[in-house]
Structure 1
Amino acid sequence: MKKFFPIVAFIAVALISLTMAGFAYFATQEAARIKFEAAADDALNRIESRIDLHLSLLRSTQALFDARNGDISQNEFKAFFKALDVDNNFAGLRGIGFLRLVKAGDEAAVERDILRDQGVAHAVYPDTTLPWRAPIVLFEPLDPSNRSSIGYDMFTEPVRREAIEKAMADDQQHASGLVQLGQGTGAAQVFTGFLVFVRLNVETAPDVINASRSSTAGFLYAAFRAEDLFQVALSRVPLLPVNTEIYDGAVKAENLLFRSETPPVSLFGDRLLVTRKIMVAGRPWTVQFRPTSAFSQPSSRAIPVMLGLFGLLLAGAIALVARYQERAYDAVSLLHETTEKSLQEKDLMLQEMKHRIKNSITRVLAIARQTASRAADVNEFSSSFSARLQAMAASQDMLTRSRWQKADLGDLLRIELGQVFGKELPEGLLSGPEVQLDETTTQALGLTFHELATNALKYGEAGNSVGALKVDWSLEGHGRDRTLALNWREAGQKKLEMPTKTGFGTKLIDLNVTRELRGTIKRDFHANGLTVEIRIPLTA
């Protein structure tokens, strides 16, 4: 028995070492899979966030058309598009346009409207036997390379027509399949991309009838260059070690929208392939991710081989292998637990971010509609709308720097007043104790201070000298029953009188204070100027 003991011991050690080597190998593969799935989900979130940003621009354009009941001229549309600064803010967007929906045979009326707006005659083309026509009548940017697209009937092209017919049925955005942008219009360049359509309704009931009746006037659409759009979304720092392929629908060569320039690593094969399904404007996409050469595995593949060799050569390595097994198991469990926790936290953060983006978009759309309905022209709309967006952005920036925790009241006032009166504010303009504001209060007060400062610049003595303005605040009460009392004083020789008509800015101030913050606001127009008293309960 003793002479067989070395053989038995050798076989036992060999079995244990081979078992442990196999366990370590599979643990390494599992850790690599979890790590790469996290990178793939990060890339997917970047793509979805970029698409949501571009689709919000189409919603804002729809709000402008709705506010004007579809009556937008070429010059107004051009000024609106120019104010968006698309090249710097919306990379991958080829342009935004408007299709007029008419019955076949009514092309002459559309051609007259195009001649009136463009100053150049454009025929509706190509010929068709379909009952409906949807020619392009507005498009920006309208440079010489795509001017020939005016008059092009998108309803004649099957892929575009499918999305247009879906948009005719409801008020939702609908994406087309893969299209070659510029093809059929005589454009100098052709890009692979997709289109998103949304129906535009106009009121058609006569003024003497107390009823609301609407019909479809046409469709707003946005054209996207797929390569530019996704390249920008994935090029954010830090760069992710993923090769990305995006397909319209099923994974087929003819459905390929985008493929990363960096090739995948053949070493992994399809073992780390991650496939995700997403919906873009009602259309299903398939996104596939593969690791690139920049992807590094959590642990070295040489470890299982070393364990096997040491186990076979050293009989005394049994204890060491057992110890490594325990450590390897704990390490894998800890890595799995940490990764799961990280994914849960990331999912929670993404849900919170989506919620905040949705709220911000709702507020931006409301401001856009109200500003557009009261603006005399597009330039006034662009100026007012941009100023209010900058006020919202300043509040968001303060909260971002503090990781969405708190913002200082004094700093908020300095930023908002600095945007209106200039960064050099006189001494003594602001006075009060340190007050930390939460997210809701910061955003609401940021817009409120911007509107008060704008009114003071336009109508008050502060338009001549910012020294005529004083802002002070104090805290009343203790603990959770504290109240912020803020006084806004505009002094001077010019007597201010209460306006006979309430503008959108004043309504926005009142809604922010009374509804958003559950506070009170009082205005006192007197011989020496204006005093505004704002009282807001602070919950913490």
Structure 2
Amino acid sequence: MKKLFPIVAFIAVALISLTMAGFAYFATQEAARIKFEGTADDALSRIESRIDLHLSLLRSTQALFDARNGDITRGEFKAFFTALNIDDNFAGLRGIGFLRLAKAGDEAAVERDILHDHGSAHPIYPQTTEPWRTPIVLFEPLDTSNQSIIGFDMFSEPVRRAAIEKAMADDQQHASGLVQLGQGAGVTQTFTGFLVFVRLNVETAPDVINASRSSTAGFLYAAFRAGDLFQVALSHSPLLPVNVEVYDGKPEAGNLLFRSEAPPAERIGAKLLARRDIVVAGRPWTLLFRPTSAFEPPSSRAIPVMLGMFGLLLAGAIALVARYQERAYDAKSALHEATEKSLLEKDLILQEMKHRIKNSITRVLAIARQTASQATDVKEFSASFSARLQAMAASQDMLTRSRWQKADLGDLLRIELGQVFGKDLPEGVLSGPEVLLDETTTQALGLTFHELATNALKYGEAGNSVGALKVDWSVDGPGHERTLLLNWREAGQKKLEAPAKTGFGTKLIDLNVTRELRGTIARDYSDDGLKVEIKIPLAG
């Protein structure tokens, strides 16, 4: 527990400091959110006030028509509209107009009234299959650029028709969905906006729609350019650091009425998002507010970071002080443990060396006895025994370089074949994946490859060209059940036959593979040479 005290102290002080920093961070986040919510409400208030101002103008126009029982000439309507000075007082208002309500088939009467009021013919368009016609008969401001809107039947267009049908049912104002204003013959520029309709009831109108107090002669409407309307509403001083998106209904791309030019701040725009749902003339809108780069949180975010850093530094200082107190004790304990470990490792190394030397001497003696029993004279014994000792030495050398851990099968083959055929082996003689062998497998396969190479040099075509020799290998099976499959092929022109007598080299190969490595070996003497297949299990 004494050794853990520095860590415990560090963790405790760090947790307290980070907790305080976390509370400070969330406090700054909440303060920024509250401030932005207030900014968003301010922007919403400006937008709603501007819309209410414009809709009040439509109500004033309705009052004018009601006072005259709908009997307003074009000149009177133009004079009324000019007096409003909408460019200065009602920015964003495209204009105000009047739609005459008529049954389909009664277009001629309406066209005569238009000809009388405007002094020029304006046929009602477009063709429609709807039962009602609501052509524009009055509109201001009307100039040469928009004369073609007179006679346009709004009931023929689905978005406008949906709002008009709602206006038929009551005396309330009803907004349309998103429309493109300025459409018509010869019009080159259109504006995204919306319309607001209200029905006009007159006592002398034909009984075309049931109403509570009179009959409906038509509809007054106001057309709004969304971009200008919202831009003017938000441009009052002081400018608000918000990016505003206004949607007709759900916030989807096809419903976008307006988007501020100032982009939202990338750093905090995704975190601070205020949504407001309002109803404009009976139609739901969604407004999304995001802060721009001009938005300043009420408190700096650097404060939680500095608090957290100070706490970590304090925790580190306390931990270091505690650690210095334990350093002497730790040094003494480490020295004692190192001494004991060194003694233990030396003892293990000595035991391992005794075991390996004993195994090597036993193997050398066995090879010496077997070689001597097969040799005809001292010279032959010396050559065979020396070659086998070199094969053992090569395997030992590979294991020594890897600190007696693992030896690569490909490297082992190159060393053993290099001792027999020379160091420079042609390309394509050896092929296979990397396979790491343990000590026992390395020593046994080293001798096996040496004997196979020696026999190939003496009796096979490889004695003439090492290119006649091909060795490939693969590994099959998962995990601890892996099996090494090695194919030794000696190509030749002469037919090979199995030897009548088994020599020591062949016995050594079989003993190494079947007994020491618990594998199998199969030889195939065919017309085109010798094929040897070796299968041995690999240690996990």
Alpha-carbon deviation of 1:314? 2.4
In the alignment, is residue 68 of structure 1 matched against residue 68 of structure 2? yes
Structure 2 equivalent of residue 307 of structure 1: 307
> Structure 1's 311 and 205: CA in aligned 2 closer, same or farther, altered over 3 A?
closer
Is this contact kept in 1: 2:10–2:316, CA < 8 A?
no
Is contact 2:124–2:153 with CA below 8 Å preserved after alignment? Answer: yes
2:49 is matched with 49
Shift of 1:184: 3.5
Aligned letter for 2:139? F
Q: Deviations over 1:211-259 (max 9, x none)?
A: x962100000000000000000001111111000000001110100000
**Structure 1 residue 309: Cα displacement:** 1.5
Distance 1:233 1:147, change over 3 A: same
**2:174 and 2:198 in contact (8 A); partners too:** yes
1:10 paired residue number: 10
Distance 1:67 1:259 in 2: 40
Structure 1 residue 6 displacement after superposition: 4.2
Unmatched segments (≥5 aa) in structure 1: 207-211, 319-540
1:128-277 matched pairs, under 5 angstroms: 128-204=128-204, 214-277=214-277
Q: 1:314 aligns to what SS in structure 2?
A: helix
Q: C-alpha distance in 1, partners of 2:184/2:140?
A: 18
Cα deviations by residue, 1:22-45 (Å, 9 ceiling, x for unpaired): 111111111111111110010001
Cα deviation for residue 71 of structure 1 reads 0.1
Alpha-carbon distance in 1 for matches of 2:44, 2:213 = 42
Within 1, Cα distance between the matches of 2:229 and 2:74? Answer: 26
Deviation per CA, 1:142-186, whole angstroms, max 9, x where unpaired? 011111100000000000000000000100000000000022354
Distance across 1 between alignment mates of 2:73 and 2:245: 40
What SS does the aligned partner of 1:96 have?
Answer: strand
1:527 alignment counterpart? none
In structure 2, the CA distance between the partners of 1:17 and 1:213, relative to structure 1 (3 Å rule), is: closer
Q: Distance in 1 between matches of 2:181 and 2:218?
A: 20
**What is the aligned partner in structure 2 of residue 80 from structure 1?**
80
Q: 2: distance between equivalents of 1:10 and 1:144? A: 81
For residue 312 of structure 1, what is the amino acid of its counterpart? Answer: L
The answer to which of 181-190 and 63-72 deviates more is 181-190
User: What letter is aligned with 2:39?
Assistant: A
Structure 1, 107-116 or 219-228: larger mean CA deviation:
107-116
Contact 2:205 2:216 in 1 (8 A): no
Cα distance in 2 for partners of 1:7, 1:190 equals 71
Q: Deviations over 1:462-502 (max 9, x none)?
A: xxxxxxxxxxxxxxxxxxxxxxxxxxxxxxxxxxxxxxxxx
Distance in 1, matches of 2:143 and 2:188, equals: 11
Return closer, same or farther for 1:290/1:205 CA change in 2, 3 Å cut-off.
closer
Residue 270 of structure 1 and its aligned partner are, at CA, apart by: 2.6
Alignment partners' CA distance in 1, 2:129 and 2:310: 79
CA contact (8 A) 1:194 1:225 kept: yes
Conserved in 2, the CA contact under 8 Å of 1:124 and 1:153?
yes
> Which structure would you say has the larger Rg?
2
**Moved runs in structure 1, 4+ residues, more than 6 A?**
none
Q: TM-score, normalised by structure 1?
A: 0.56
SS class of match (2:180):
strand
SS in 2 for 1:127: coil
Note if contact 2:13-2:311 (Cα within 8 Å) is conserved in structure 1. yes
The letter of the residue matching 1:64 is L
Q: Distance in 2 between matches of 1:172 and 1:62?
A: 11
Contact 1:149 1:186 (C-alpha < 8 Å) held by counterparts: no
Q: Is the 8 A contact 1:174 1:197 kept in 2?
A: yes
Q: Could you say if the C-alpha distance between residues 252 and 17 of structure 1 is closer, same or farther in structure 2, counting changes exceeding 3 Å?
A: same
Q: Deviations over 1:419-445 (max 9, x none)?
A: xxxxxxxxxxxxxxxxxxxxxxxxxxx
**What's 2:124 paired with?**
124
Q: Structure 2: where are the runs of 5+ without partners?
A: 207-211, 319-540
Return the alpha-carbon distance in structure 2 between the equivalents of residues 261 and 56 of structure 1. 28
Which amino acid in 1 is paired with 2:219?
A: F
Residues 205 and 197 (structure 1 numbering): CA distance in 2 closer, same or farther, change over 3 Å? Answer: closer
CA shift for structure 1 position 197:
0.2
Per-residue deviation, 1:7: 3.9
Match for 1:18: what amino acid? L
* Alignment size in residue pairs: 313
CA contact (8 A) 1:145 1:188 kept: no
Contact in 2 for aligned 1:204/1:213 (Cα 8 Å): no
Q: How does 1:281-296 map to 2 (within 5 A)?
A: 281-296=281-296
One-letter amino acid of the structure 2 residue matched with residue 291 of structure 1: P
Q: Which amino acid aligns with 2:172?
A: Q
1:121 counterpart SS class: coil
Q: 1:66-85: per-residue Cα shift (whole Å, max 9, x none)?
A: 00000000000000000001
Contact 1:126/1:156 (8 A) holds in 2: yes
* Change beyond 3 A, Cα 1:170–1:186: farther
Change (3 A) 1:205 1:130: closer
Percent identity reads 82
Structure 1: distance between partners of 2:76 and 2:111: 19
**What do residues 86-116 of structure 1 show as CA deviations (whole Å, max 9, x unaligned)?**
0000000000000000001111111111111
Work out whether residues 146 and 188 of structure 1, in 8 Å CA contact, stay in contact via their aligned partners in 2.
Answer: no
Amino acid at match of 2:258: F
Moved more, 264-273 or 96-105: 264-273
Alpha-carbon separation, structure 1, partners of 2:279 and 2:186: 32
**In terms of mean alpha carbon deviation, does 1-10 or 33-42 score higher?**
1-10
Letter in 2 for 1:189: Q
TM-score in terms of structure 2 length: 0.56
